[in-house]
Chains A and B, each alone.
Chain A
Amino acid sequence: MSDFLLSVHDLACARGDRLLFKGMNFSLKTGELLLVQGGNGQGKTSLLRLLTGLARPEAGEVRWCGALIGRQRETFHAAMVYLGHANGVKDDLNPVENLRFAEGLQGRTFDAPRAVATLERLGLSRCLDLPCRVLSFGQRRRVALASLLLAGAVLWILDEPLTGLDVHAVTLMEGLIRDHLTAGGMVVATTHQALNLEGVNVQRLLVGNVAIPELAVN
């Protein structure tokens, strides 16, 4: 994988009249993880939405490989995948169908055996033909993670990826993030949980002005 760079210059974000943060600067290179930390309501999700291009900054700019993301929307969105609070999983479809439509909407061809293998790897082998409506919250989250893996994007933007996941899935997720970074990917994530990310190049970013206790990253 060649080198990519996500950089943020003097970014400011406001919700309504309230300024959440301003003058934010950072840059993220290939193989790095940016852990966004901060208390509730400090603007972590807002920051991630700015990075995806879903929201527009109050001031400042977000650049991908040197160019503004708004100027190269197609290239940027092809290289990026976002997992928000909502999973983007349709309740009326089963996991495989969900992945098929997700792939189609991203303009990629669907590789069924690979999708099934990914779902099985995430521990969903028993639910492949059940509608997602009957799956538990954690299982639906796993379906969303499967579509993240299938997307094959360079940059992962993850908003609280660990909510609803059990201990095994958290360990699995740590492994996936590590694999992605070693393969030359980039990850921006927010989390309130401790992550075991040995040997990973971690940058931390504190959003808002409330200092919170150091989260364990050993």
Chain B
Amino acid sequence: MHRFVLAVLRRDLTLATRRRGDWLIAQFFFVMVASLFPLGVGPEPAMLARIGPGVLWVAATLASLLSLSRLFADDHRDGSLEHMVLSPEPTVLLVLGKSLAHWLIYGIPLLLVAPVLGIQFNLSWEAIWVLELSLLLGTPILSLLGGVGAALTLGLRGGGVLLTLLILPLYVPALIFGAGAVDGVMAGTGAEAHLSLLGAFFVLSLMIAPWIASAALRVSLE
């Protein structure tokens, strides 16, 4: 069972190394969106620190959406998705493997870039540390829930826009608790409550999202 997940993972990671352009676009998008805000609202340090956590979280959400529309679409186009669904292994594990690969490819780099952007927003080291924790718990949620949207909109014309409309509302809890944790630590109320809720939301998505996505995938392929 875990061998199948590993096989999916290894395949997607290999494919990602062959197409580094797509990977870089998502990271650049994250940096660009986050960097536009200081230019737009002015360089006042106190204000930047105030909006920083929210802006970084919104930018991370949008960056992950950018790559999600292609989570299944590429494999659908060349027929390999059908082959994977027709494998004797459960489709749930396929979805889980692909979401995990998406997180490793697109989520982890966000974690690496975020501290640099945090400095740009005049966040304290403590706040940056909590921002990292919240992204570590939150970005897998984006990949898991995004898998549901990608499976539902598979093969539809204009699927990318529809995916955004479908999935953004589902991201709201992650956004609230993620940005709230950083706000909490800056306001001195502590981040534990927000991080615990974020963790609970992560576990919930991990338990439920792959099942819904695999059912959606079967419907889309029919």
* Chain A positions near chain B (C-beta within 8 angstroms): 52-56, 73-75, 77-78, 80-82, 84-93, 97, 101-102, 104-107, 131
Contact = CB atoms under 8 A, between A and B. Distances in A.
Nearest to A132: B78
A88 B88 contact: no
Contact of B8 (A54, A55, A56, A105): A105
B87 A92 contact: no
Nearest to A79: B88
Given A55-B222, A78-B88, A105-B7, A92 B79 contact: no
Given A78-B88, A107-B4, A107-B87, A90 B222 contact: no
Given A88-B79, A92-B18, A80 B86 contact: yes
A66 B7 CA distance: 32
B87 A88 contact: no
Contacts of B7: 101, 104-105, 107
B62 interface: no
A65 B211 CA distance: 29
Contacts of B70: none
Interface of A is mostly: loop
Contacts of B85: 54
Interface string B20-64: 000000000000000000000000000000000000000000000
B79 to A, nearest CB: 3
B54 to A, nearest CB: 37
A56 B222 contact: yes
Interface centre among A53, A55, A106, A131 (most CB of B within 10 A): A106
A84 B221 CA distance: 13
Nearest to A104: B7
Given A52-B86, A105-B87, A106-B87, A88 B80 contact: yes
B82 interface: yes
Contact of A82 (B77, B78, B83): B83
Given A74-B88, A77-B88, A105-B7, A88 B14 contact: no
Nearest to B91: A73
B43 to A, nearest CB: 43
B15 interface: yes
Q: Interface on chain B toward A: helix, strand, loop, or mixed SS? A: helix
Given A54-B221, A54-B222, A86-B78, A93 B18 contact: yes
Contacts of B83: 82, 88, 102, 105
Given A87-B78, A105-B87, 20 more contacts: A55-B221, A56-B222, A73-B88, A74-B89, A75-B88, A77-B87, A78-B88, A84-B79, A88-B78, A88-B79, A89-B79, A92-B18, A93-B18, A105-B7, A105-B11, A105-B84, A107-B3, A107-B7, A107-B89, A131-B18
Interface in B88-131: 88-89
Contacts of A73: 88
Given A104-B11, A107-B3, A107-B4, A89 B86 contact: no
Given A93-B15, A105-B4, A87 B79 contact: yes
A101 B19 contact: no
Contact of B15 (A55, A80, A84, A92): A92
B18 to A, nearest CB: 4
Contacts of B79: 84-89
A102 to B, nearest CB: 7
29 contacts: A52-B86, A54-B85, A54-B222, A55-B221, A75-B88, A81-B86, A86-B77, A87-B78, A88-B82, A89-B78, A90-B15, A90-B78, A90-B80, A92-B15, A92-B18, A92-B19, A93-B14, A93-B18, A101-B7, A102-B80, A104-B3, A104-B10, A105-B8, A105-B89, A106-B87, A106-B88, A107-B87, A107-B88, A131-B18
Contacts of A102: 80, 83
Nearest to A144: B79
Contacts of A86: 77-79, 82
